[in-house]
Amino acid sequence: MNSAKSDKPCKPVTVASLARMKAEGEKIASLTAYDFSFARALDAAGMDFVLVGDSLGMVMQGRATTLPVTMDEIIYHSRCVAPALRRALLMVDMPFMSHVTADDALRNAGRLMKEGGAQIVKLEGTGAQAEVVRRLAQAGVPVCAHLGLRPQAVHKMGGYRVQGRDEAAAGIMLEDARQLEEAGADLLLLECVPAELAARISGQARVPVIGIGAGPHCDGQILVLQDMLGLTPGHVPKFSRNFMPDADSIPGALAAYVAAVKSGRFPAPEHCF
């Protein structure tokens, strides 16, 4: 039987809520989820948004990269997560090659929202994707633009490497971020970017900037759920932290993560580039 607490109405987070959090200096906390049970736990822990990421290809399917994930697969996982969320906003990744053209992006983003329940879609790209973002925004689709290390471009980039280390590369990323925001991106996500560059982008952007391996000066943080629960076999990214050893349960670890992000204790210097 549900407790009175679980039945208490809660105000859903929206894109406008996230923008307001940036304006007010409140940190944004997020994790990935791929199923109903974990999504419900993330929502209860106070996550501001939940990402159904194409990382499911690696953590759920055991693939070497995110590239094989299909639209049908990510829609399936999104449909599992969506019913669990009462407060958190639902963000869903656009898989590899699903947004090459504006027409592709419109068709596939429509599927993510209509079939998967997405409230905002995330796409990997550079300033070259600005027209795609513009067309999505004009159609009423909220967009998060993913910069820095882009796992869908891992073969082009030559591996999973920190991006924007030199001034020339940093300048390009600053301009890419500006173009994508100008095109209508509602959020920016920076992956594996030096903390100083992430601070510059966060200071430049009017929209919230979410970091994963991008230092403490972003407006919010996201990690892969399995990484922060210590479930990932093999190499764990430098930017992640296992929150389970100091918690008495998974809900405790999730709550500790939210508290650490909100207070600015995570990421710490050892998690930054």
Other beta carbons within 10 Å of 52: 29
The answer to whether 152 and 96 are in contact (CB under 8 A) is yes
Contact 194/273 with Cβ under 8 angstroms?
yes
Under 8 Å between Cβ of 52 and 73? no
The two beta strands, 209-212 and 220-223, are parallel
CB atoms under 10 Å from CB of 122, counted, come to 23
Residue 17: strand, helix, or coil? helix
The C-alpha atoms of residue 98 and residue 101 are separated, in whole angstroms, by 8
Q: How many CB atoms lie within 10 A of CB 251?
A: 13
181 is catalytic: no
Question: With contact defined as beta carbons under 8 Å apart, do 58 and 96 qualify?
Answer: no
Sign of CA dihedral 198, 214, 52, 44: negative
The one catalytic residue in 24, 191, 196, 270 is 191
Q: Is 161:237 a contact under the CB 8 Å cutoff? A: no
Question: Taken in order 127, 132, 134, 140, is the CA torsion positive or negative?
Answer: negative
Distance CA 113, CA 263 (A): 32
Q: Which residues are catalytic?
A: 191
